Amino acid sequence: MKFNCGSCGKIDEAVFDGYLFGDRLLEGVKFAARKNDDGSCEVRLMEPGTLAVPDEKHWMSLAKKFAEQNDVLECPACYGQAVPDDMLA
């Protein structure tokens, strides 16, 4: 499933800031999400090594949950809103 940005059209990945689910601990850490057709997400760090927390696995799983439960993420190119493609259908 792709995301749709109002300015850029269809995009594969949408990004979000760790602050949204990790508060100040993850502020400024950028994550990128891909959505599978079943609604689940694959999440990765935009820049490997930027998640400087002891329990990386825990936070990555929270990032995945956040991406799956939030339909409005950010476009990595223009920082506009990116929503899953099927929401517009």
| Cα distances (angstroms) measured from residue 3 to each of 6, 23, 61, 69, 89 | 10, 25, 21, 14, 12
| Residue of 7, 40, 61, 69 that binds Zn ion (CB under 5 A) | 7
Binding mask 31-70 for Zn ion (x = CB under 5 A): ----------------------------------------
Q: Which of 60, 1, 65, 68 is nearest to 31 (CA)?
A: 60
CA pair distance 78, 60, nearest whole angstrom: 24
Q: Does position 72 bind Zn ion by CB under 5 A?
A: no
Q: How far is the CB of 38 from Zn ion (least distance, A)?
A: 25
Per CB under 5 A, residues contacting Zn ion are 5, 7-8, 75, 77-78, 80
